[in-house]
Amino acid sequence: MTDTELLKLVRSKANTWLKSDIDSDSKQQIENLIQNDEPELIESFYKDLEFGTGGLRGIMGVGTNRINIYTIGMATQGLCNYIKHQFPDNKEIKVAIACDSRNNSQLFAEKTASVFSANGIKVYLFEDLRPTPELSFAIRKLGCQSGAVVTASHNPKEYNGYKVYWEDGGQIISPHDKNIIAEVQKIKDVSEIKFDDSLKNVEIIGKKIDKAYIKELSKLSLNPKVIKNQKDLKIVYTPIHGAGVNLVPEALKAYGFKNITVVEEQRMPDGNFPTVKSPNPEEPAALELALKKAKEIDADIVMATDPDGDRVGIAVKNSNNEFILLNGNQAAVLLINYLISQWHAKGKLKGKEYIVKTIVTSDLLKDIADKYNVETFDVLTGFKYIADVIKNQEGKKKFIAGGEESYGYLAGEFVRDKDAVMSCALLAETAAWAKNGGKSLYEELINIYIEFGFYKENLISVVKKGKSGAEEIQKMMDDFRSSPPQTINKSNVMLIHDFEKQVTYDQISHLRYDINLPKSNVLQFILKDGSKISVRPSGTEPKIKFYFGVHEQLKKREDFNKVNKQLDVKIENIIKSLRLNK
């Protein structure tokens, strides 16, 4: 499409909105874009928002490529049409809706409820902000057929989003996601959205669901006596102005922890996230205030959750009594090693247990599971695929835990999405267990490395914004497919996993093997020295991600710093080999 053709398409879409029954403020914004800001007009209308690994997500504003009450409304109307088609024999179709602390989240949640209500669907709407995992729990608890949560997770403040869930409590996957989009695309005018401002089919929910959720979460505790011994474990927690503010401290208290310090500057929900540049617990800057408080009180563990309470970042003290941030792989290793080992110690392993991880998450998790004869399922990136395994194995095998490198973890089967509330409680229990045995979490992590090997991972994200950026990202993927590297960092590429073509290419035997996973635009290169490089465009942000995984033996604790540096150098050399530092 030429620039002229693109602009013609964009203007046509903008004029269609101008002629529709949208509010006057939105019309004025569109007129301003047409007259004064052609680049932003193109960005706002050149495409329709689509569901990615996290659902519908984008920058708030007017237009088909922006999050607003109309794109939210069209998505909901399409969802309503699809749900009715899927459950024609249900006397009553039910959905649950939640939202986080972002600007406009409450408004978008109410508009979502309004559309469901207008379509004759029963709505359970949370009274105010709630963590995303509680929405997953509520869907199952209340027997809903679907649900939605208004959130943009850990994205910057200008973003918002809309994640859709199915009756199993997991985020929608194929074919539901594509079919819902097909229904949305059938809606040609915003006037086709049904709104019910009286909310006649809406029931407000809150504390009762909170109580039931905390009760189930408490059942996951494996060592209440240990917690009793370590009830004064010093915990610093920050919700980073988000939805974890009430439930995380409540969950910790339900587990038996008494010494919980919440970072006051970040306690209040605020969609502007005034104390951070980005409310992402993966970024060190987001934990600065929590670390400052932790140093003041000599805390044992620091935990920070993102705005919708499904991801958690943690910090622990190293051998020099200095706080260090653990990455998502390290936290997953500590948590899942604790859970599996304690299931084993308590005789709970019967031979049908399993864990789930994503293909870009540390393979150390599989090594740990193998030790205890626990099965490991590898799935595509996105926690919805972990939820799908749990659904498919329900009643056949027992799910212990799942995790992904992007700071999301889950245990038990009553929630079907990553759960930072649950993770905070279980990570605190892991820290209490380690301390009760005379160790810190840092020392426990090194012990794991000594036993299984020192695995280290890193991630580089290359940001490419807008339409041109999306085209650049696709070209990078095309180039990797058409001309894959034969060596990386002087190590031969042994295997290439192409998840879009669902084929593994053995570069030595030249044989091909089928990949039994859904199609996804992901490439993995497995090197002779055991290194693993994964490449994939983000499903929720304008970036392409490069994941690096390397490992070496760690024979004794005293060698940790030396081996750690060796692994850093290996990752740096891989990055140079791929010319990503240019």
Active site residue ranges? 153
Structure tokens, 51: 């569901």
What per-residue string of b and e applies to 512-539 under the rule 16 or more CB within 10 Å gives b?
A: eeebeeeebbbbbbbbeeebbbbbbbbb
462, 460, 459: which is closest to 541 by C-alpha? 462
Contact present, 533 and 578 (Cβ < 8 Å): yes
Instruction: With beta carbons less than 8 A apart as the criterion, state whether 144 and 92 touch.
Output: no
* Nearest by Cα to 115 from 152, 153, 160, 162: 162
CA angle, corner 355, sides to 353 and 358, nearest 5?
160
CA 52 to chain centre: 12
Burial class of residue 375, CB neighbours in 10 A (0-12, 13-18, 19+): middle
Q: Which of 359, 375, 370 is nearest to 525 (CA)?
A: 359
- DSSP 8-state code for residue 171: B
Helix, strand, coil % in the chain, rounded to nearest 5: 40, 20, 35
In one letter, which amino acid is 573? N
- Secondary structure (3-state) at 177: helix
Distance CA 38, CA 154 (A): 29
DSSP strand E in 487-581: where? 487-488, 491-498, 503-506, 512-514, 523-527, 532-537, 543-552
Q: What is the per-residue DSSP string for 38-97?
A: HHHHHHHHSS----BTTBEEEEBSSSTTSBSHHHHHHHHHHHHHHHHHH-TT-SS-EEEE
| Structure-token pair, residue 393 | 């194995």
C-beta neighbour count of 395 within 10 angstroms:
6
Task: Report phi then psi at 101, rounded to 5.
Answer: -90, 5
542 preceded by a cis bond (ω within 30 of 0):
no
Q: In angstroms, rounded to a whole number, what is the distance separating the alpha carbons of residues 206 and 552? A: 49
Q: Give the bridge partners for 398, in sequence order.
A: 353
